């Protein structure tokens, strides 16, 4: 029987995502000058205010207030009428040193003995539904907002756009669990005040979304995905009407409140731990990346068409509590899911230090993850420059989204006899 499935995304200007991006910018700056930094940093943003709180163990001093201001300005909050802008907002730092009671379970005599930074379970997911092995509804939701942000920065065709926005895509699936069509698209975007009345304003935004944004998104999609767009799509564009008040002035933002947007849009499962603001000794982050890496390589290798991978840890303990695999009945090998999990545990070393080394996680690579999803992104190398308050400057090449590499496909095929 046909069914509907929905995923949402939020833009870089959404209050929760501002908080995530500030927290991850702090992580990057600490790691750039001290790769062994231990950081757990939370951010709160509201009208004209930013609060930074958390624990840090590092040998570098940073101007955390200026880092936060730079992030806010880069996102686009640069005008006083937004009631929140990077140059004038107040910033309170309540960051202090990491607890010795936590640190003793992580730091060991040798790096290989490094314990997990917390207890919990983490999940990774992959499927053949899209080219990047991600759920389609989430992928499209992200693409809508990435393109909307590009239009905002171009400041030409839709010159009234402000940074805050949300999207949601509902897809109809057939009996074979394959996408049939897009059923509905929801898009809410913050905008400038209009001189015209509200109806004229809404009509223009509606028209521009349908005739400018949607064609630009479609132009970047594969033919089979373009074919899912149809004349019967239900559009809900700024469904509440006027959306001038937005960002931190319209809604308080906190680090870690968009964990489903960050991962798989509700497909698969989530262990509950946020990613942003945590250095890779925190398995909430590193093991979630490692399980995505496993899931993607399993599907790409042909072991199955869809898979969920779970790993779990105890704080301070080196070896994981266990690995779980669910192939949703799509396995292509003559093994139970339990047998697949046992073999996966032999291929991929899931000790925290091994994950850090395998995925090169002690790079300043996290700012790019903090908006538009941590998974399904492009694995690429970029050059980044960091500065200390004392004038020290460091330029380095950074490899982004290392967990998206398909570097274990051959090893997985060999292990499974494919």
Residue among 6, 1, 50 nearest 255 (CA): 50
Mean pLDDT calculated for residue range 95-108 = 61
Contact 172, 179 (CB under 8 A): yes
Mean pLDDT calculated for residue range 391-415 = 96
Whether 18 is in a domain gets the answer no
Whether 53 is in a domain gets the answer no
pLDDT tens, 14-27?
999 999 999 999 99
256 alpha carbon, distance to own chain's centre? 10
301 lies in the same domain as 391: yes
241 lies in the same domain as 289: no
Question: Is 257 annotated as ligand-binding?
Answer: yes
Looking up tokens 């975007």, which residue turns up?
189
Report the distance separating Cα 241 and Cα 199, nearest Å: 9
pLDDT tens, 139-186?
999 999 999 999 999 999 999 999 999 999 999 999 999 999 999 999
DSSP single-letter state for residue 212 = I
Question: Is 267 annotated as ligand-binding?
Answer: no
Beta strand spans in 21-68 (E): 38-46, 49-57
Report the distance separating Cα 19 and Cα 32, nearest Å: 20
The answer, yes or no, to whether residue 106 has pLDDT greater than 90, is: no
Whether 189 is in a domain gets the answer yes
289: domain CATH number is: 3.30.300.10
Question: Is 16 annotated as ligand-binding?
Answer: yes
Report the distance separating Cα 330 and Cα 316, nearest Å: 36
141 lies in the same domain as 190: yes
210 lies in the same domain as 325: no
- Half-sphere CA count of 216, side-chain side, radius 13 A: 17
68 alpha carbon, distance to own chain's centre? 19
Contact 146, 135 (CB under 8 A): no
pLDDT of residue 391: 85
Question: Is 149 annotated as ligand-binding?
Answer: no
Question: Is 356 annotated as ligand-binding?
Answer: no
Question: Is 165 annotated as ligand-binding?
Answer: yes
Question: Is 69 annotated as ligand-binding?
Answer: no
Whether 412 is in a domain gets the answer yes
pLDDT of residue 102: 52
Residue spans of alpha helices (H) in 318-378: 337-347, 352-358
pLDDT of residue 191: 94
393 lies in the same domain as 318: yes
Whether 360 is in a domain gets the answer yes
Residue 266 phi, psi dihedral angles, 5° rounding:
100, -10
Domains of the chain: total: 2
Question: Is 98 annotated as ligand-binding?
Answer: yes
Q: Look up the domain containing 212 and give its range.
A: 3-8+136-246
Whether 352 is in a domain gets the answer yes
pLDDT tens, 34-66?
999 999 999 999 999 999 999 999 999 999 999
220 lies in the same domain as 306: no
Token pair for residue 139? 């992928």
Question: Is 178 annotated as ligand-binding?
Answer: no
Nearest-5° Cα angle at 84, 83 to 90: 115
Looking up tokens 């669910």, which residue turns up?
326
Whole-prediction pTM value?
Answer: 0.94
Whether 31 is in a domain gets the answer no
Question: Is 249 annotated as ligand-binding?
Answer: no
The answer, yes or no, to whether residue 103 has pLDDT greater than 60, is: no
Contact 132, 405 (CB under 8 A): no
The confidence band for 199, taking pLDDT boundaries of 50, 70 and 90, is confident
Looking up tokens 């624990």, which residue turns up?
55
Question: Is 42 annotated as ligand-binding?
Answer: yes
Write down which residue in 198, 226, 246 finishes a domain: 246
173 lies in the same domain as 239: yes
242 lies in the same domain as 369: no
Write down which residue in 193, 224, 246 finishes a domain: 246
169 lies in the same domain as 287: no
219 lies in the same domain as 306: no
DSSP single-letter state for residue 404 = G
3-state helix, strand, coil in the chain (%, to 5): 35, 25, 40
Contact 106, 115 (CB under 8 A): yes
Question: Is 357 annotated as ligand-binding?
Answer: no
Which residues have C-beta within 8 Å of that of residue 332, sequence separation ≥ 6?
A: 302, 303, 304, 305, 418
Mean pLDDT calculated for residue range 100-111 = 55
Write down which residue in 201, 230, 246 finishes a domain: 246
Report the distance separating Cα 8 and Cα 15, nearest Å: 15
Report the distance separating Cα 347 and Cα 411, nearest Å: 8
207 lies in the same domain as 291: no
The three-state secondary structure class of 386 is strand
Whether 367 is in a domain gets the answer yes
Report the distance separating Cα 290 and Cα 285, nearest Å: 9
301 lies in the same domain as 195: no
Question: Is 251 annotated as ligand-binding?
Answer: yes
Question: Is 55 annotated as ligand-binding?
Answer: yes
Report the distance separating Cα 64 and Cα 71, nearest Å: 11
């Amino acid at each position: 029987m046909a069914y509907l499935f929905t995923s949402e995304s939020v833009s870089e200007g959404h209050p929760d995502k501002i908080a995530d991006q500030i927290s991850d910018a702090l992580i990057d700056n600490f790691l750039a000058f001290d790769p062994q930094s231990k950081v757990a940093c939370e951010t709160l943003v509201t009208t004209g205010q930013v609060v930074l709180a958390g624990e840090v163990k590092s040998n570098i001093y940073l101007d955390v207030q200026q880092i936060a201001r730079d992030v806010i300005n880069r996102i686009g909050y640069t005008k006083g009428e937004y009631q929140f802008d990077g140059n004038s907002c107040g910033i309170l730092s309540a960051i202090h040193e990491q607890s010795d009671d936590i640190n003793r379970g992580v730091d060991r005599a040798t790096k290989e003995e490094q314990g997990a930074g917390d207890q919990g379970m983490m999940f990774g997911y992959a499927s053949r539904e899209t080219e990047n092995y991600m759920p389609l509804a989430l992928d499209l939701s992200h693409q809508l907002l990435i393109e909307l942000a590009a239009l905002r920065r171009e400041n030409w065709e839709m010159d009234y756009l402000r940074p805050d926005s949300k999207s949601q895509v509902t897809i109809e699936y057939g009996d074979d669990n394959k996408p049939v069509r897009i059923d509905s698209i929801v898009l809410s975007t913050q905008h400038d005040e209009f001189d015209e009345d509200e109806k004229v304003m809404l009509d223009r935004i509606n028209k521009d979304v349908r005739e400018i944004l949607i064609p630009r998104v479609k132009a970047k999609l594969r033919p089979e995905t373009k074919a899912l767009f149809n004349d019967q799509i239900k559009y809900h564009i700024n469904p509440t009407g006027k959306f001038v008040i937005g960002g931190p002035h319209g809604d308080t933002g906190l680090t870690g409140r968009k964990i489903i947007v960050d991962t798989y849009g509700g497909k698969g499962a989530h262990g509950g731990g946020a990613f942003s603001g945590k250095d890779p000794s925190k398995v909430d982050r590193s093991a979630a990346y490692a399980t995505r890496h496993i899931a993607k390589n399993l599907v790409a290798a042909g072991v199955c068409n869809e898979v969920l991978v779970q790993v779990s840890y105890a704080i301070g303990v080196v070896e994981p509590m266990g690995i779980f695999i669910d192939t949703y009945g799509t396995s292509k090998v003559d093994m139970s899911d339990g047998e697949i999990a046992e073999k996966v545990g032999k291929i991929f070393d899931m000790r925290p230090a091994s994950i850090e080394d395998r995925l090169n996680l002690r790079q300043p690579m996290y700012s790019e993850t903090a908006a538009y999803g941590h998974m399904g992104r492009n694995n690429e190398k970029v050059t980044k420059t960091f500065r200390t308050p004392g004038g020290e400057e460091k330029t380095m090449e950074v490899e982004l989204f290392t967990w998206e590499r398909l570097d274990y496909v051959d090893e997985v095929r060999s292990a499974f006899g494919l």
